[in-house]
Amino acid sequence: MVNDTSAFSRSGIRDWLILRIGAIIIVLYVIYVCSFLISLDKLNYYNWHEFFENITTKIFTILTLFSVLIHGWIGIWQVLTDYIKLVVLRLILQSIIILVLLSYAIYGCIVICGG
């Protein structure tokens, strides 16, 4: 077993399952948005605004946002642990990426919730 100081007790099976659940959420969201777009006669600002004012759409959008961010984190984490062998450099890069992803999450929630 490999002892990686920056692994944070991670499990490959857990990561695989998280990625699959996130992919399902993303696919369902794409189907949800596409079905909305197909059902319209004419797309305009008012239809789009009404669609995103719906609480179901807001919750689904936030779930999708977090699915994309978690998917990105797991992918970047795997690349960094595979290719950056210097632990200090890897931890610095991981910290920067975590801060960027957290800022995306906060900004995305602000946009979606209309703050």
Annotated binding site for heme: 71
**Per-residue DSSP letter, 20:** H
Annotation: binding site: 71, 83
12-39 burial code (b ≥16 CB/10 A, e <16): eeebeebeeebeebbeebeebeeebeee
Annotation: binding site for a ubiquinone: 83
